[in-house]
Structure 1
Amino acid sequence: MPRFMGFVRMEENIGTPPQALFEAMDAHIGERAAKGIFLDGGGLYGTEDAVNFVVRHSEVTRVDGPYAEAKEVVGGWAIMDYPSLEAAVADQREFAELHAKHWPEVTVVATLRQISEGPEEPGA
């Protein structure tokens, strides 16, 4: 079965999500964990302690957060195992809809990417 990584991107420092979203996500993730779909995941702290190493022209430079130029940051991630790309896409939409329903005043980008297992093409 193909594995996927989901990311949630949003503006930084927009406040704490509503309790209703936490409860809906707990139920959503719990159901998927019980079915063996949700393998691992979690939320991320803000960029105030983030560290990037930038490689440019064979030189490595360290850049510490926070990053004033960042419009959106990754706030959470998940690794999931689905039987097909179609199932993964449908479930990621359902996950995004939880945010639309329970935290409508913010902009959230829920991204889904297939994890490469080697040189084969995505969707294989």
Structure 2
Amino acid sequence: MDIEQLKNRIKEFAIQIILFARELPTGTEYKIIQGQIIRSASSTGANYRAACRAKSPADFINKMKIVEEELDETMYWLEILASLYPNCKNQLTPVWKEANELLAITVASIKKVRSNK
């Protein structure tokens, strides 16, 4: 997968999360989670784009570590939602799978750059 394909895939992931979050119940706790999950998912893409403009391998790794953290945080909020809102598990499964795959790609990229240093 090339850089542009991954950029688009991460952007589509953020859009999926935003669309999913729009469908959450309107209770206070869901509004808080909605804001958190949208922030972390959209931050994933913004930070990946920044990593693509890294000035050095160390800069790339630092930016990709932020991508890793934001994906992990998004997965955390998905876990919370699965517990609080069991009716949404069918909707959660594909976005969880995509988050997990993107996380694996991110970790592999970090490892590859570290081994090439």
TM-score by length of 2: 0.35
Say which structure, 1 or 2, has more relative contact order (CA 8 Å, 6+ apart): 1
TM-score by length of 1: 0.34
Q: Which has the higher strand share?
A: 1
The structure that has the greater radius of gyration is 1
